Amino acid sequence: MSAQIAKLARVLVLLVVLGGLYVLAIHKHEQRETLRRADVALTPGCADKLARYGLVAGEHYQSPYVLAKDGVAAKLRGYTQPDVRAIQRGCNIIDDTQGHFARDTGLERWNSKRFIRGSHTSCDHCHQGIGDKQDAEGNRLKGSLSLAASWAMADMYDRFTGLLLPYELRQMQCYINSSNGYKPNISDDLIRDVTAYSRFLSAALDLKIGNHYDEQGVDEIAASATVKQGDDYIRGEALYKDKCQSCHGRQAVGTVADGRVIAPALAGPNAWNMQSRNYFYYVSTILPGFICRNMPLGQENTLSNQECRDIAYYISNLPRPAGDRQGPLIALQNQFLMAVMPPLMRLTESQTKDPAPAQHAAGAR
Protein backbone atom coordinates (compact mmCIF):
# COMPACT_ATOMS: atom_id res chain seq x y z
CA MET A 1 0.00 0.00 0.00
CA SER A 2 2.66 2.52 1.10
CA ALA A 3 4.73 1.58 -1.95
CA GLN A 4 1.81 2.57 -4.14
CA ILE A 5 1.42 5.92 -2.37
CA ALA A 6 5.11 6.62 -2.83
CA LYS A 7 4.78 5.81 -6.52
CA LEU A 8 1.79 8.11 -6.85
CA ALA A 9 3.65 10.88 -5.05
CA ARG A 10 6.59 10.54 -7.44
CA VAL A 11 4.29 10.81 -10.44
CA LEU A 12 2.58 13.82 -8.89
CA VAL A 13 5.88 15.60 -8.22
CA LEU A 14 6.91 14.98 -11.80
CA LEU A 15 3.62 16.34 -13.09
CA VAL A 16 3.87 19.45 -10.91
CA VAL A 17 7.44 20.10 -12.09
CA LEU A 18 6.56 19.64 -15.76
CA GLY A 19 3.41 21.73 -15.36
CA GLY A 20 5.45 24.46 -13.67
CA LEU A 21 7.94 24.51 -16.53
CA TYR A 22 5.07 24.70 -19.00
CA VAL A 23 3.53 27.68 -17.19
CA LEU A 24 6.94 29.36 -17.04
CA ALA A 25 7.47 28.85 -20.79
CA ILE A 26 4.04 30.30 -21.58
CA HIS A 27 4.77 33.25 -19.34
CA LYS A 28 8.15 33.94 -20.99
CA HIS A 29 6.60 33.61 -24.40
CA GLU A 30 3.91 36.12 -23.52
CA GLN A 31 6.48 38.49 -22.09
CA ARG A 32 8.46 38.35 -25.35
CA GLU A 33 5.34 38.96 -27.42
CA THR A 34 4.41 41.98 -25.28
CA LEU A 35 7.87 43.40 -25.76
CA ARG A 36 7.77 42.77 -29.49
CA ARG A 37 4.46 44.62 -29.75
CA ALA A 38 5.46 47.55 -27.53
CA ASP A 39 6.34 50.91 -29.05
CA VAL A 40 10.08 51.57 -29.02
CA ALA A 41 11.48 54.65 -27.32
CA LEU A 42 14.38 55.54 -29.60
CA THR A 43 17.69 56.88 -28.34
CA PRO A 44 18.32 60.43 -29.64
CA GLY A 45 20.96 59.08 -32.03
CA CYS A 46 18.61 56.48 -33.48
CA ALA A 47 15.71 58.93 -33.74
CA ASP A 48 17.97 61.10 -35.92
CA LYS A 49 19.35 58.31 -38.02
CA LEU A 50 16.10 56.47 -38.72
CA ALA A 51 14.26 59.73 -39.51
CA ARG A 52 17.04 60.65 -41.92
CA TYR A 53 16.59 57.32 -43.70
CA GLY A 54 12.81 57.73 -43.75
CA LEU A 55 11.88 54.56 -41.89
CA VAL A 56 8.07 54.26 -41.76
CA ALA A 57 5.79 51.28 -42.20
CA GLY A 58 4.22 51.05 -45.62
CA GLU A 59 3.90 49.03 -48.80
CA HIS A 60 6.99 50.60 -50.37
CA TYR A 61 10.21 52.02 -49.01
CA GLN A 62 12.10 54.81 -50.68
CA SER A 63 15.48 55.93 -49.35
CA PRO A 64 15.93 59.72 -48.98
CA TYR A 65 19.72 59.12 -48.84
CA VAL A 66 19.81 57.43 -52.24
CA LEU A 67 17.48 60.06 -53.71
CA ALA A 68 19.70 62.91 -52.50
CA LYS A 69 22.99 61.23 -53.42
CA ASP A 70 22.26 59.54 -56.73
CA GLY A 71 18.98 61.21 -57.77
CA VAL A 72 17.41 57.77 -58.04
CA ALA A 73 13.88 57.31 -56.69
CA ALA A 74 14.00 53.52 -56.41
CA LYS A 75 11.01 51.88 -54.76
CA LEU A 76 11.79 48.88 -52.59
CA ARG A 77 9.51 46.52 -50.75
CA GLY A 78 8.23 48.27 -47.63
CA TYR A 79 8.25 47.39 -43.95
CA THR A 80 5.46 46.24 -41.67
CA GLN A 81 4.94 47.69 -38.19
CA PRO A 82 6.69 44.69 -36.54
CA ASP A 83 9.61 45.13 -38.99
CA VAL A 84 9.91 48.80 -38.06
CA ARG A 85 9.95 48.02 -34.34
CA ALA A 86 12.63 45.33 -34.80
CA ILE A 87 14.80 47.79 -36.76
CA GLN A 88 14.30 50.44 -34.08
CA ARG A 89 15.27 48.04 -31.30
CA GLY A 90 18.31 46.92 -33.29
CA CYS A 91 19.46 50.52 -33.66
CA ASN A 92 19.01 51.10 -29.93
CA ILE A 93 21.14 48.04 -29.13
CA ILE A 94 24.06 49.32 -31.21
CA ASP A 95 23.76 52.89 -29.94
CA ASP A 96 23.09 52.10 -26.29
CA THR A 97 24.37 48.60 -25.60
CA GLN A 98 24.45 49.27 -21.85
CA GLY A 99 20.76 50.16 -21.88
CA HIS A 100 21.03 53.57 -20.20
CA PHE A 101 17.91 54.73 -22.00
CA ALA A 102 16.14 51.38 -21.63
CA ARG A 103 15.83 51.64 -17.88
CA ASP A 104 13.56 54.67 -18.05
CA THR A 105 10.97 52.91 -20.17
CA GLY A 106 10.87 49.79 -18.03
CA LEU A 107 11.12 47.66 -21.18
CA GLU A 108 14.28 45.66 -21.22
CA ARG A 109 14.14 43.86 -24.54
CA TRP A 110 16.77 45.97 -26.23
CA ASN A 111 18.80 46.29 -23.09
CA SER A 112 21.77 44.09 -23.93
CA LYS A 113 23.62 44.81 -20.70
CA ARG A 114 22.91 41.31 -19.43
CA PHE A 115 25.31 39.91 -22.04
CA ILE A 116 28.21 42.23 -21.23
CA ARG A 117 30.59 42.24 -18.27
CA GLY A 118 32.20 45.70 -18.33
CA SER A 119 30.44 49.01 -17.80
CA HIS A 120 31.99 50.77 -20.81
CA THR A 121 31.32 48.63 -23.85
CA SER A 122 28.93 49.82 -26.51
CA CYS A 123 28.85 48.36 -30.03
CA ASP A 124 28.87 51.94 -31.29
CA HIS A 125 32.35 52.60 -29.85
CA CYS A 126 33.88 50.43 -32.56
CA HIS A 127 31.04 50.27 -35.10
CA GLN A 128 30.84 54.05 -35.00
CA GLY A 129 28.05 56.29 -36.23
CA ILE A 130 25.66 53.58 -34.94
CA GLY A 131 27.21 51.15 -37.40
CA ASP A 132 27.14 53.65 -40.25
CA LYS A 133 29.96 56.19 -39.86
CA GLN A 134 29.94 59.03 -42.41
CA ASP A 135 31.69 62.34 -42.90
CA ALA A 136 29.86 65.68 -43.01
CA GLU A 137 29.01 65.17 -46.71
CA GLY A 138 27.46 61.78 -46.06
CA ASN A 139 30.32 59.75 -47.55
CA ARG A 140 30.86 56.35 -45.99
CA LEU A 141 34.34 55.93 -44.55
CA LYS A 142 36.93 53.31 -45.33
CA GLY A 143 37.68 50.86 -42.51
CA SER A 144 34.83 52.06 -40.28
CA LEU A 145 33.42 48.60 -39.41
CA SER A 146 30.12 49.45 -41.11
CA LEU A 147 27.27 47.13 -40.19
CA ALA A 148 25.44 48.04 -43.41
CA ALA A 149 28.34 46.88 -45.56
CA SER A 150 28.91 43.81 -43.43
CA TRP A 151 25.27 42.80 -43.93
CA ALA A 152 25.74 43.12 -47.71
CA MET A 153 28.51 40.53 -47.29
CA ALA A 154 26.39 38.47 -44.91
CA ASP A 155 27.43 34.87 -44.41
CA MET A 156 30.81 35.34 -46.04
CA TYR A 157 33.88 33.24 -45.40
CA ASP A 158 35.74 34.32 -42.35
CA ARG A 159 39.35 35.14 -43.17
CA PHE A 160 40.72 33.84 -39.90
CA THR A 161 38.86 30.61 -39.36
CA GLY A 162 38.11 29.80 -43.00
CA LEU A 163 34.53 29.05 -41.96
CA LEU A 164 31.34 30.36 -43.46
CA LEU A 165 30.08 32.48 -40.57
CA PRO A 166 26.46 33.61 -40.58
CA TYR A 167 25.73 37.18 -39.57
CA GLU A 168 24.31 35.98 -36.27
CA LEU A 169 27.57 34.22 -35.33
CA ARG A 170 29.55 37.35 -36.12
CA GLN A 171 27.44 39.27 -33.66
CA MET A 172 27.93 36.55 -31.05
CA GLN A 173 31.71 36.76 -31.51
CA CYS A 174 31.52 40.46 -30.72
CA TYR A 175 29.51 39.86 -27.54
CA ILE A 176 31.92 37.22 -26.29
CA ASN A 177 35.27 38.76 -27.24
CA SER A 178 35.11 42.39 -28.30
CA SER A 179 32.63 43.14 -25.54
CA ASN A 180 34.12 40.59 -23.10
CA GLY A 181 30.67 39.19 -22.38
CA TYR A 182 28.43 36.17 -22.72
CA LYS A 183 26.94 34.42 -25.71
CA PRO A 184 23.35 35.36 -26.49
CA ASN A 185 21.20 32.58 -27.90
CA ILE A 186 21.39 32.64 -31.69
CA SER A 187 17.61 33.05 -31.94
CA ASP A 188 17.41 35.74 -29.25
CA ASP A 189 15.51 38.86 -30.33
CA LEU A 190 18.67 40.79 -29.53
CA ILE A 191 20.47 39.15 -32.46
CA ARG A 192 17.41 39.18 -34.71
CA ASP A 193 16.86 42.92 -34.17
CA VAL A 194 20.46 43.91 -34.93
CA THR A 195 20.28 41.81 -38.10
CA ALA A 196 17.06 43.63 -39.07
CA TYR A 197 18.71 47.00 -38.43
CA SER A 198 21.86 46.14 -40.43
CA ARG A 199 19.74 44.88 -43.29
CA PHE A 200 17.68 48.08 -43.24
CA LEU A 201 20.85 50.21 -43.30
CA SER A 202 22.15 48.41 -46.34
CA ALA A 203 18.80 48.98 -48.11
CA ALA A 204 18.80 52.66 -47.11
CA LEU A 205 22.32 53.07 -48.53
CA ASP A 206 21.51 50.98 -51.61
CA LEU A 207 24.31 48.48 -51.03
CA LYS A 208 24.22 45.42 -53.26
CA ILE A 209 24.25 42.01 -51.66
CA GLY A 210 27.48 40.04 -52.13
CA ASN A 211 29.61 43.12 -52.88
CA HIS A 212 32.59 44.20 -50.83
CA TYR A 213 32.60 47.86 -49.78
CA ASP A 214 35.54 49.83 -48.35
CA GLU A 215 33.67 50.68 -45.18
CA GLN A 216 33.27 47.00 -44.27
CA GLY A 217 35.59 45.71 -41.56
CA VAL A 218 38.88 47.38 -40.73
CA ASP A 219 41.46 48.81 -43.12
CA GLU A 220 44.09 46.44 -41.85
CA ILE A 221 47.72 47.49 -41.50
CA ALA A 222 50.29 44.72 -41.77
CA ALA A 223 53.88 45.12 -40.60
CA SER A 224 54.88 45.10 -44.28
CA ALA A 225 52.94 48.36 -44.77
CA THR A 226 55.31 50.22 -42.47
CA VAL A 227 58.88 51.35 -42.96
CA LYS A 228 59.80 48.06 -41.23
CA GLN A 229 61.08 49.57 -38.03
CA GLY A 230 59.30 46.82 -36.12
CA ASP A 231 56.64 47.47 -33.49
CA ASP A 232 57.99 49.38 -30.52
CA TYR A 233 56.61 49.59 -26.98
CA ILE A 234 58.56 52.71 -25.98
CA ARG A 235 57.55 54.67 -29.07
CA GLY A 236 53.99 53.41 -28.62
CA GLU A 237 53.81 54.54 -25.01
CA ALA A 238 55.09 58.03 -25.85
CA LEU A 239 52.62 58.33 -28.72
CA TYR A 240 49.77 57.10 -26.52
CA LYS A 241 50.54 59.75 -23.90
CA ASP A 242 50.70 62.43 -26.53
CA LYS A 243 47.71 61.53 -28.71
CA CYS A 244 45.30 59.37 -26.72
CA GLN A 245 45.72 59.77 -22.97
CA SER A 246 43.73 63.01 -22.70
CA CYS A 247 40.59 61.04 -23.57
CA HIS A 248 41.30 57.40 -22.77
CA GLY A 249 43.11 58.07 -19.51
CA ARG A 250 46.27 56.70 -17.94
CA GLN A 251 47.02 53.05 -18.71
CA ALA A 252 44.10 53.29 -21.13
CA VAL A 253 41.48 52.31 -18.54
CA GLY A 254 39.03 54.83 -20.00
CA THR A 255 37.48 57.96 -18.51
CA VAL A 256 34.10 58.27 -16.84
CA ALA A 257 32.39 61.42 -15.54
CA ASP A 258 29.06 61.43 -13.67
CA GLY A 259 28.52 57.80 -14.59
CA ARG A 260 28.89 58.60 -18.27
CA VAL A 261 31.65 57.05 -20.35
CA ILE A 262 33.65 59.90 -21.87
CA ALA A 263 36.05 57.57 -23.68
CA PRO A 264 35.93 53.78 -23.35
CA ALA A 265 38.62 51.59 -21.81
CA LEU A 266 41.21 50.18 -24.23
CA ALA A 267 42.72 48.02 -21.45
CA GLY A 268 41.76 46.84 -17.97
CA PRO A 269 38.56 45.13 -16.85
CA ASN A 270 36.20 47.14 -19.07
CA ALA A 271 38.02 46.53 -22.35
CA TRP A 272 37.82 43.79 -25.01
CA ASN A 273 39.47 40.51 -24.04
CA MET A 274 42.52 38.63 -25.32
CA GLN A 275 40.43 36.55 -27.69
CA SER A 276 39.08 39.60 -29.54
CA ARG A 277 40.47 40.41 -32.95
CA ASN A 278 41.13 43.85 -31.54
CA TYR A 279 43.87 42.21 -29.48
CA PHE A 280 47.19 42.78 -31.22
CA TYR A 281 48.74 39.41 -30.47
CA TYR A 282 45.74 37.52 -31.80
CA VAL A 283 45.49 39.42 -35.11
CA SER A 284 48.11 42.15 -35.39
CA THR A 285 46.60 44.03 -38.34
CA ILE A 286 43.15 44.97 -36.97
CA LEU A 287 43.79 47.33 -34.04
CA PRO A 288 46.36 49.45 -35.96
CA GLY A 289 43.88 49.69 -38.83
CA PHE A 290 41.10 50.77 -36.51
CA ILE A 291 43.32 53.41 -34.88
CA CYS A 292 44.60 54.88 -38.17
CA ARG A 293 41.12 55.28 -39.72
CA ASN A 294 39.01 56.06 -36.65
CA MET A 295 41.22 57.73 -34.05
CA PRO A 296 42.09 60.19 -32.51
CA LEU A 297 38.42 61.10 -32.64
CA GLY A 298 38.03 64.27 -34.72
CA GLN A 299 41.53 63.90 -36.20
CA GLU A 300 41.15 60.63 -38.03
CA ASN A 301 43.73 59.64 -40.67
CA THR A 302 46.47 61.81 -39.16
CA LEU A 303 48.69 59.00 -37.82
CA SER A 304 51.20 57.05 -39.90
CA ASN A 305 51.00 53.27 -40.28
CA GLN A 306 54.04 52.86 -38.07
CA GLU A 307 52.56 55.06 -35.34
CA CYS A 308 49.32 53.07 -35.33
CA ARG A 309 51.17 49.78 -35.02
CA ASP A 310 53.36 51.12 -32.20
CA ILE A 311 50.33 52.39 -30.26
CA ALA A 312 48.45 49.13 -30.80
CA TYR A 313 51.48 47.20 -29.56
CA TYR A 314 51.67 49.34 -26.43
CA ILE A 315 47.92 49.10 -25.67
CA SER A 316 47.94 45.33 -26.09
CA ASN A 317 50.75 44.97 -23.56
CA LEU A 318 48.53 46.45 -20.86
CA PRO A 319 46.56 43.94 -18.77
CA ARG A 320 43.05 43.00 -19.91
CA PRO A 321 40.64 40.10 -19.32
CA ALA A 322 41.74 36.76 -20.73
CA GLY A 323 39.58 35.13 -23.38
CA ASP A 324 38.44 31.52 -23.44
CA ARG A 325 41.71 30.17 -24.91
CA GLN A 326 44.35 31.69 -22.63
CA GLY A 327 44.07 29.33 -19.71
CA PRO A 328 43.87 29.94 -15.95
CA LEU A 329 47.46 31.13 -15.37
CA ILE A 330 47.31 34.01 -17.81
CA ALA A 331 43.80 34.86 -16.62
CA LEU A 332 45.04 34.98 -13.02
CA GLN A 333 48.09 37.06 -13.91
CA ASN A 334 45.95 39.61 -15.72
CA GLN A 335 43.35 39.75 -12.95
CA PHE A 336 46.16 40.42 -10.48
CA LEU A 337 47.68 43.18 -12.61
CA MET A 338 44.28 44.78 -13.14
CA ALA A 339 43.72 44.75 -9.38
CA VAL A 340 47.02 46.44 -8.45
CA MET A 341 47.08 48.90 -11.33
CA PRO A 342 44.43 51.44 -10.19
CA PRO A 343 45.84 51.90 -6.64
CA LEU A 344 49.35 52.30 -8.10
CA MET A 345 48.02 54.90 -10.50
CA ARG A 346 46.34 56.80 -7.66
CA LEU A 347 49.59 56.75 -5.66
CA THR A 348 51.45 58.48 -8.46
CA GLU A 349 48.55 60.78 -9.38
CA SER A 350 49.97 63.94 -7.80
CA GLN A 351 53.23 63.63 -9.73
CA THR A 352 51.59 63.81 -13.13
CA LYS A 353 49.72 66.79 -14.41
CA ASP A 354 46.07 65.99 -15.15
CA PRO A 355 45.42 66.13 -18.87
CA ALA A 356 42.79 68.58 -20.11
CA PRO A 357 39.30 67.08 -19.78
CA ALA A 358 37.94 65.61 -22.99
CA GLN A 359 35.22 67.59 -24.72
CA HIS A 360 33.62 64.73 -26.59
CA ALA A 361 31.26 62.36 -24.82
CA ALA A 362 30.96 58.83 -26.14
CA GLY A 363 27.66 58.12 -27.77
CA ALA A 364 26.83 61.81 -28.03
CA ARG A 365 25.73 61.49 -31.63
Binding site for ligand HEC (CB under 6 A): 97, 121, 123-128, 145, 147, 150, 167, 170-171, 174-175, 178-179, 194, 216-218, 243-244, 246-248, 263-266, 271-272, 277-278, 286, 290-291, 295-298, 311, 358, 360, 362-363
Minimal distance in Å, beta carbon 88 to ligand HEC?
15
Minimal distance in Å, beta carbon 28 to ligand HEC?
22
- Answer left, alpha or beta for residue 55, where phi above 0 means left and psi between -120 and 50 means alpha: beta
Minimal distance in Å, beta carbon 152 to ligand HEC?
9
> Who contacts 297 (Cβ-Cβ below 8 Å, separation ≥6)?
247, 263, 360
The nearer residue to ligand HEC, 207 or 218, going by C-beta atoms, is 218
Q: What is the DSSP letter of 223?
A: G
The nearer residue to ligand HEC, 204 or 263, going by C-beta atoms, is 263
Minimal distance in Å, beta carbon 124 to ligand HEC?
6
Minimal distance in Å, beta carbon 277 to ligand HEC?
5
CA dist., res. 330 & res. 267, Å (int): 15
> Who contacts 308 (Cβ-Cβ below 8 Å, separation ≥6)?
221, 288, 289, 291, 292
The nearer residue to ligand HEC, 62 or 250, going by C-beta atoms, is 250
Contact (CB, 8 A) for 96 and 197? no
Q: How far from 263 is each of 20, 124, 213, CA to CA, in Å?
A: 46, 12, 28
Nearest of 166, 169, 134, 142 to residue 153 by alpha carbon: 166
Contact (CB, 8 A) for 351 and 316? no
What are the φ and ψ backbone dihedral angles of 301, each rounded to 5 degrees?
65, 25
Nearest of 315, 332, 214 to residue 264 by alpha carbon: 315
The nearer residue to ligand HEC, 201 or 295, going by C-beta atoms, is 295
Minimal distance in Å, beta carbon 354 to ligand HEC?
15
Minimal distance in Å, beta carbon 179 to ligand HEC?
5
Contact (CB, 8 A) for 140 and 146? yes
The nearer residue to ligand HEC, 88 or 150, going by C-beta atoms, is 150
Minimal distance in Å, beta carbon 60 to ligand HEC?
27
CA dist., res. 150 & res. 215, Å (int): 9
Helix (H) or strand (E) holding 308: helix 305-316
CA dist., res. 109 & res. 194, Å (int): 12
The nearer residue to ligand HEC, 5 or 356, going by C-beta atoms, is 356
Contact (CB, 8 A) for 141 and 215? yes
The nearer residue to ligand HEC, 299 or 350, going by C-beta atoms, is 299
The nearer residue to ligand HEC, 84 or 267, going by C-beta atoms, is 267
The nearer residue to ligand HEC, 321 or 363, going by C-beta atoms, is 363
Minimal distance in Å, beta carbon 143 to ligand HEC?
9
CA dist., res. 217 & res. 148, Å (int): 11
